[in-house]
Structure 1
Amino acid sequence: MKYLFILTVISTLSLHSGFAQVLSNKQQNYTKADTLRGSLRPERNFDVLKYHLKLKVEPEKRFISGSNTITFTPEENLSIMQIDLFENMNIDSIIHKNQKLKYSRAYNAVFIKFEQALKASEKDSIQFYYSGNPIVAKNAPWDGGFVFDKDEDGNHFIAVAVQGTGASLWYPNKDHQSDEPEEVLTEIAVPNGLMNVSNGRFVGQKDLGDGYTQWSWKVVNPINNYDIILNIANYSHFHDTYKDLDLDYYVLPYNLEKAKKQFEEVKPMMDCFYEKFGEYPFKEDGYKLVEAPHLGMEHQSAVAYGNQYQMGYLGRDLSGTGAGLKWDFIIIHESGHEWYGNSITAKDIADMWLHEGFTSYSEAVYIECNWGKEEALKYLQGTRKNIRNTSPIIGDYGVNSEGSGDMYPKGANLLNNIRSIFNDDDLWWKTLKDYTETYKHQTIDTQTAESFFDKATRVNLQPIFDQYLRYSNLPVLQFKQEGKKLFYRWQADVKDFKMPVDVFINNKEVRINPTTQWKKFDKKLSKEDIQVHEPEFYILTQFLN
């Protein structure tokens, strides 16, 4: 989610400012720490099968202690294993078959040494015991860390949000998006009188007899590391269903009635997303909204909600059109991530537009389901003022580098371009749904997504994806007048760039197929006779004379 740049936009709309690029780590030189986190080195050549995270949280001390049992299969003989844990956290011991293992640390990576290499394809496990004071976020969810807060009644109100920063901020794991555990058991002990809500299904609570109660939750679907979370508060719970899907809500007691009203939006959202994207991808784990002491985050099957029971984004419309005030931004956006980001996950964070671009597009999809296509196009067009176009959407691979924050609105508008190029809404919705269901519960890269959409249409989409994702500039549709003839062409970074575009010629919609070479209209035209269909195509237009 990570919408820090949106707050920048809100405060500077009158200046027509775009999104601040706080997500981007793109740089000229990368450190060893960047490589250790972002690359798939031999020490990471194993497949994680399960995490069993067992922790005690001491709110007054802001201290956590416990273990993660990591079950895995080496993909080749493995003598040294890399597990990630932030260097400020203490390692108490690492156990393998009842023996303590030797290890070394470099930045936020831990290198575990086995006396005898583990054999390829043989299931194994380690118990990683650790403790410490995890980093506290200064402004969650835009910077990673714990949030130690209190509610209006003085009860502890605690959460964690680590997208981008890394889940290894608070628990040891293979902190790379290409490898998701297939199952997670989270057991969190908290002071009596408080509840912990984590991902998946509730499987029990246990009074430990020392003033703490352990709350256990189990996920039985693949889950990316930054989605694994805890939420600690004096929660009230209420339950509903949608078709055969369990809907569970955990909110602060004094917000219960507001939540019952606000969360009614979940059902029309499910109606829309089931139709356009396919059924909820984690039915076995259920769907939850959990009130959090921060704005929100797409934590799989336990979506964090902190929009203060308002429509829009904290009562504001990010598009500036009015279309964004008809629905609760956090419910729709963060739930959209269940399909895009949680079910379909980018292997490398350089491709995070696969999460954020598609999910930002889901906002427009929801608007279209409820208020029509024209309103959805108006919303998408309104979000363009927040795009800076100063660096590429895709980051650098293998070095823990996200691309530009433009991945949100520019990614959504790119998908709207592709839909317009399809020029067949039935084909578009079928392709989008097929894509979503084909790569359900998988990690993929941008090339996989590009190829899928490219195969669905006769238009070659590759130069379009290249221009919008790998360059910062928009393509420019240039016109020039020579006598009574009007010429047109594309100016773009991609060599031999081609993209069809719809224009109005004397108020009649016509599709043209510009290239980088000048073409001329058959009829006598002037620039006053032509207008680009701007809601459907995000481009620049230039008249040279």
Structure 2
Amino acid sequence: MDQRTPVRSAAPATLLLALLTLATACTTDTGGVRGTPGAAGLRDPYFPRLGNGGYDVTHYDLTLAVDAGSGLLRGTAEITARATQDLSAFNLDLAGLDVGSVTVEGRPAAVNRAGSELTLRPDNEVEDRLRKGRTFRTVVRYSGAPRTFTDADGSKEGWVRTGRGSVALGEPTGSMAWFPGNHHPSDKASYDIRVTVPEGWSAVSNGELASRRTAGRRTTFHWRTREPMASYLATVAVGRYTVKQSATGDGMPVLTAVDPAAVSASAAVLGRIPEVLRWAEQTFGPYPFASAGAIVGLSKDSDYALETQNRPFFPGPPDIGLLVHELAHQWFGNSVTPESWQDMWLNEGFATYAEWLWNEEHEGVPVRDSFDAAYENDANWAFPPGDPPSAAELSGPPVYGRGAMVVHRIRQRMGDDEAFFALVRGWLKAHRHGNASTEDFTAYVEKESGLDLTGLWDTWLNGRSRPARG
């Protein structure tokens, strides 16, 4: 009996000491914040380190100053986010630029950098602001020469020097070249972007122009995007653009910014923007944004167009088919944005199908002919559109052509055009300003159509070989 008494009395003390030791270790490891670090990546199938976990950005307030001669950039990013877990630390994506200082809720934060990952460890005083569900504000001051990336497919993105200025192109990872953030398409936010450039230059971005002020031979343009936007769709185009403002028939602002050397060759097609938008609204439903337009550079600026939100970027004067494609993206990709980069075919397949529809109604080319041409193109059968072999094939032909064939096969199976276009409009309405995956899409189509489309998905969407034409 005497031997048991000390054991019974010592056990609570031993347990308490162990718990106190563990609590002290946890507090020390996390800098005093009772939480855990947010993930350094979102495990995207093609870019596993892209994006960050533990929080959801609601707003970016970016203030940039661009030196037109040297290309140097000075920036301040004020990032408002909501914690999705109790955070002890969190990450931002930023490539190349030098970080001067970081604060979280007004208090200095420790910063560790590993490549394009910034790990921020906030001050102990702000731990309550990093609880799950709470909103917190991070301010990053940074500077340097923003980088141009060469993608796996050989294309250029990031901060691209044009010879007459620069343009920011962000698909799929390039936005981290000019501002810190959560650079995965699944985290959309509203934006205020202020850009200061030499007087006589223009800085064109997304959304609507909130103000323009000139002082000391420098002009600051303030652009505001109220609707959620994925960071890869954000842009800043700096140069001596010819800027024109007009409106659609119902009064929506249309702003175009065109390199002076491309103004004449672009005028006719850009003048059709209201016509294309009116047609697209009749086909797909209400335009999802408050303004529209285009940015047109020169062919040497880039080897691809990009559906930057509100006003797509074109490397040189576009033809009508390319204009239709990029404006269709305002619905497919910009409003309804992929959950991950594996779902990109939902952007490109529908935008390509929009071209087919336009060509049928305006150029006399039946959709069936476009489908047959895509079917005969061997390049469209290199891989399933929702399963590119690597990031290098993310923009490969199957993502476009075979993606559009999947859309047309759904239309054929439904056998009722009115029901099909109602389904498409319903899809856009259900996910307006949000994100959606391939699984979301296939489930929605089957539910709304009442059809079992397993065979269609197995062959046209996911199959490894070319099925019978049908």
TM-score, normalization by structure 2: 0.82
- Give the match for residue 474 of structure 1: 466
Q: CA deviation at 1:227?
A: 0.9
- Give the match for residue 8 of structure 2: none
| Letter in structure 1 aligned against 2:242 | S
The answer as to whether partners of 2:42 and 2:51 remain within 8 angstroms in 1 is: no
Instruction: Return the match for 2:208 from 177, 201, 205.
Output: 201
- Give the match for residue 506 of structure 1: none
Alpha carbons of 1:42 and 1:252: their partners in 2 closer, same or farther (altered >3 Å)? closer
Provide the secondary structure at the position in 1 that maps to 2:194: strand
- Give the match for residue 328 of structure 2: 336
Q: Distance in 1 between matches of 2:83 and 2:316?
A: 43
Corresponding residue pairs, total: 419
| Letter in structure 2 aligned against 1:356 | E
- Give the match for residue 281 of structure 1: 288
After superposition, what is the alpha-carbon deviation per residue over 1:275-305, rounded to whole angstroms, capped at 9, x for unaligned?
110121002xx10111123342100012112
Comparing 35-44 and 437-446, the one that deviates more: 35-44
The answer as to whether partners of 1:395 and 1:404 remain within 8 angstroms in 2 is: no
The answer as to whether partners of 1:135 and 1:146 remain within 8 angstroms in 2 is: yes
Query: Are 1:441 and 2:449 an aligned pair?
Result: no
Counterparts of 1:341-380 in structure 2, within 5 Å, are 341-372=333-364, 375-380=366-371
- Give the match for residue 167 of structure 1: 175
Instruction: Return the match for 1:102 from 82, 91, 110.
Output: 110
Q: Distance in 2 between matches of 1:400 and 1:255?
A: 31
Q: Distance in 2 between matches of 1:216 and 1:386?
A: 47
Provide the secondary structure at the position in 1 that maps to 2:273: helix
Alpha carbons of 1:417 and 1:291: their partners in 2 closer, same or farther (altered >3 Å)? same
Alpha carbons of 1:432 and 1:34: their partners in 2 closer, same or farther (altered >3 Å)? closer
| Letter in structure 2 aligned against 1:379 | S
| Letter in structure 1 aligned against 2:70 | K
Query: Are 1:148 and 2:150 an aligned pair?
Result: no
Comparing 40-49 and 243-252, the one that deviates more: 40-49
Q: CA deviation at 1:130?
A: 1.3
Alpha carbons of 1:348 and 1:49: their partners in 2 closer, same or farther (altered >3 Å)? same
- Give the match for residue 248 of structure 1: 255
Instruction: Return the match for 2:236 from 230, 238, 242.
Output: 230
The answer as to whether partners of 1:273 and 1:366 remain within 8 angstroms in 2 is: no
| Letter in structure 1 aligned against 2:188 | E
Instruction: Return the match for 2:407 from 408, 415, 419.
Output: 415
Alpha carbons of 1:43 and 1:225: their partners in 2 closer, same or farther (altered >3 Å)? closer
Provide the secondary structure at the position in 2 that maps to 1:299: coil
Percent identity at matched positions?
A: 21
Q: CA deviation at 1:463?
A: 3.4
Q: Distance in 2 between matches of 1:68 and 1:42?
A: 16
Cα-Cα RMSD = 2.9
Alpha carbons of 1:115 and 1:238: their partners in 2 closer, same or farther (altered >3 Å)? closer
Instruction: Return the match for 1:92 from 89, 92, 100.
Output: 100
List gaps (5 residues or longer) in structure 1.
Answer: 1-31, 151-155, 312-327, 478-533, 538-545
Provide the secondary structure at the position in 1 that maps to 2:464: coil
Q: Distance in 2 between matches of 1:95 and 1:123?
A: 14
Q: Distance in 1 between matches of 2:154 and 2:405?
A: 25
The answer as to whether partners of 1:239 and 1:247 remain within 8 angstroms in 2 is: yes
- Give the match for residue 81 of structure 1: 90
| Letter in structure 1 aligned against 2:245 | H
Provide the secondary structure at the position in 1 that maps to 2:192: strand
After superposition, what is the alpha-carbon deviation per residue over 1:439-458, rounded to whole angstroms, capped at 9, x for unaligned?
11111111111111112334
Instruction: Return the match for 2:74 from 65, 68, 86.
Output: 65
Provide the secondary structure at the position in 2 that maps to 1:408: helix
Structure with the higher fraction of residues in helix conformation: 2
Provide the secondary structure at the position in 1 that maps to 2:366: helix
Q: Distance in 2 between matches of 1:265 and 1:41?
A: 37
- Give the match for residue 259 of structure 1: 266
Q: CA deviation at 1:428?
A: 1.1
List gaps (5 residues or longer) in structure 2.
Answer: 1-39
The answer as to whether partners of 1:207 and 1:213 remain within 8 angstroms in 2 is: yes
- Give the match for residue 24 of structure 2: none
After superposition, what is the alpha-carbon deviation per residue over 1:363-384, rounded to whole angstroms, capped at 9, x for unaligned?
1121233245x52321232234
| Letter in structure 2 aligned against 1:129 | R
Instruction: Return the match for 1:457 from 439, 449, 452.
Output: 449
After superposition, what is the alpha-carbon deviation per residue over 1:308-340, rounded to whole angstroms, capped at 9, x for unaligned?
25x3xxxxxxxxxxxxxxxx2321111111000
Q: Distance in 2 between matches of 1:335 and 1:458?
A: 30
- Give the match for residue 187 of structure 2: 179
Q: Distance in 1 between matches of 2:421 and 2:327?
A: 19
Counterparts of 1:477-488 in structure 2, within 5 Å, are 477=468
Q: Distance in 1 between matches of 2:395 and 2:462?
A: 10
Q: CA deviation at 1:355?
A: 1.1
Comparing 185-194 and 451-460, the one that deviates more: 451-460
Alpha carbons of 1:41 and 1:174: their partners in 2 closer, same or farther (altered >3 Å)? closer
Q: Distance in 1 between matches of 2:392 and 2:77?
A: 23
Q: Distance in 2 between matches of 1:396 and 1:367?
A: 28
Q: Distance in 2 between matches of 1:201 and 1:220?
A: 9
Alpha carbons of 1:105 and 1:396: their partners in 2 closer, same or farther (altered >3 Å)? farther
- Give the match for residue 315 of structure 2: 306
Query: Are 1:134 and 2:158 an aligned pair?
Result: no
Provide the secondary structure at the position in 2 that maps to 1:76: coil
TM-score, normalization by structure 1: 0.71
Comparing 135-144 and 328-337, the one that deviates more: 135-144
| Letter in structure 2 aligned against 1:266 | I
- Greater RCO (Cα-Cα under 8 Å, separation 6 or more): 1
The answer as to whether partners of 2:60 and 2:77 remain within 8 angstroms in 1 is: yes
Q: Distance in 1 between matches of 2:256 and 2:395?
A: 34
| Letter in structure 2 aligned against 1:382 | A
Alpha carbons of 1:386 and 1:361: their partners in 2 closer, same or farther (altered >3 Å)? farther
Q: CA deviation at 1:78?
A: 1.1
Alpha carbons of 1:401 and 1:367: their partners in 2 closer, same or farther (altered >3 Å)? closer
